[in-house]
Amino acid sequence: MKKLLLVLSFVFAIGVVFAQEKMMFGDTSRRGVPFSKDPHVVKFDGKYLMYFSIPPFADKSNPIQGWNIGIAESTDLIQWEKVGEINPDGDYESKGLCAPSALVLNNEIHLFYQTYGNGRDDAICHAVSKDGLSFNRNPTNPIFKPTGDWNCGRAIDAEVIKFNNQFLLYFATRDPNYKIQIQGVAAAPANTNFNRDDWKQLTDQPIMVPEYDWEGKCVEGASVIQRGDELFMFYAGSYNNAPQQVGIAKSSDGIQWEKLSEKPFLANGNPGEWNSSESGHPHIFLDDNGKTYLFYQGNNDKGKTWFLSNVEVFWNEEGPFLRK
C-alpha cells in the first residue's frame, strides 16, 4: 500500500510539472540574448512551423543587416528549434523584412510579410514555399500598400484569411500625420495568385482605430479566425512596451468590427513577471484537433529582450475566453 501511494504521488508530481510547462522561445542568434517578435504558426507536413521577426545583428560588420524572419519547428507547440531564416532578396527588402503571416494552400506555404526601414513606403510582400524553409518571391512585390487621404501610405502587419469566397488582407497603417496606428482591409478573389493587381482596398477609411485608454495611439497586429459565420480578430493595442496588450473584436462581414470589451483580453503581466512590459502582437492558431492557441510576444525589460509564448483559448456562445 505504501509503495502504491509513493507511485501515485510521483505520478501526480510529474503531472503537475507537465501541466505547468510553458512555451518560452527566444532566438539568441542575432544579439546574444533572446529576441523574437511577431509570431505566426502553421501546421505543415506533420509538424508545426513558426515564423517570427528577428532583429539586426549586434555586430554591425555582418553583411546581413536589418530585421529578418526566423523559422522554428516544433512537435508539441512548447519546445521549438530554430531551423532557418528568410533574409533580404531584392532592392525592396534591402533594409529589412519582418512581421510574417503564413497561409497553407495546396500543400504550399504562402508567406505575407512587410518591408521594414522605409517609413511611409513600407509595404506588404508575398512569397511561396513547398517545404516551409525556402521561399520564392512574388514577382510583383510589393503586392499591397494603401491609398487615400485617411492614411500615410504605409502597410505593415499583414494577416490573410479566406472568407466568403475571397481572401481578406488585414494591415496596419498610420494616419496622414504618421502618429496614430490604425487598421485597414483589402480583398482578392478566391482564384488569386496574390499578385499586386488582384488586391482591392475595401474601404476609404480605417476599419479600426484606438478608442480606449489601454490602446493608446495604436491598434495593429490583427490576427483573425473564423468561428461559424463570424470572424474574431485578436489585435494589439498601444505601441510596444506602453504596455502593448491584446484585444478582441467581432465581425460578420470582415469589414465592420465590434470590439468585445473595453479591457484587454490578454493583459501584460504583473511586476516581476516575464511579460510585465507587454503581452503583444497576437496570433490565433487553430490546430488540427480543434484547439486554439494564442501566440504572443512579451518581455519584462522594456524591449531589451523578447520572448514568444502561447496560451490556450477556449470558446463559448459569447466568444473566446481564457481559463485562470
Q: For residue 12, how far is the Cα from the chain centroid?
A: 36
Quote the pLDDT of residue 8. Answer: 32
Confidence of residue 2 (pLDDT cuts 50, 70, 90): very low
Residue 189: inside a domain: yes
Mean predicted lDDT score pLDDT of the chain: 93
Residue 9: inside a domain: no
AA letter at 183:
Q
6: pLDDT strictly greater than 50 = no
pLDDT digits (tens, 9 = 90+) for 171-228: 999 999 999 999 999 999 999 999 999 999 999 999 999 999 999 999 999 999 999 9
Residue 7: inside a domain: no
274: pLDDT strictly greater than 60 = yes
Contact 54, 306 (CB under 8 A): no
Quote the pLDDT of residue 63. Answer: 85
Provide the grid cell at 117.
526601414
Residue 2: inside a domain: no
CATH code of the domain in which 95 resides: 2.115.10.20
**69-73: average pLDDT:** 98
Residue 1: inside a domain: no
Residue 46: inside a domain: yes
15: pLDDT strictly greater than 70 = no
163: pLDDT strictly greater than 50 = yes
Confidence of residue 51 (pLDDT cuts 50, 70, 90): very high
- Structural domain containing residue 156: 35-321
Quote the pLDDT of residue 11. Answer: 32
Q: Catalogue the long-range contacts made by 188-191 (C-beta closer than 8 Å, 24 or more residues apart).
A: 190/162, 190/165, 190/166
d(CA 306, CA 157): 18
Cα-flanking dihedrals φ and ψ of residue 59, to 5°?
-80, 105
Q: For residue 203, how far is the Cα from the chain centroid?
A: 23
Confidence of residue 21 (pLDDT cuts 50, 70, 90): confident
Cα-flanking dihedrals φ and ψ of residue 35, to 5°?
-155, 95
Instruction: Say how many domains are in the chain.
Output: 1
d(CA 235, CA 260): 12
Residue 15: inside a domain: no
Q: Who contacts 18 (Cβ-Cβ below 8 Å, separation ≥6)?
A: none
Quote the pLDDT of residue 192. Answer: 98
Residue 241: inside a domain: yes
d(CA 18, CA 22): 9
pLDDT digits (tens, 9 = 90+) for 107-152: 999 999 999 999 999 999 999 999 999 999 999 999 999 999 999 9
Quote the pLDDT of residue 316. Answer: 97
12: pLDDT strictly greater than 80 = no
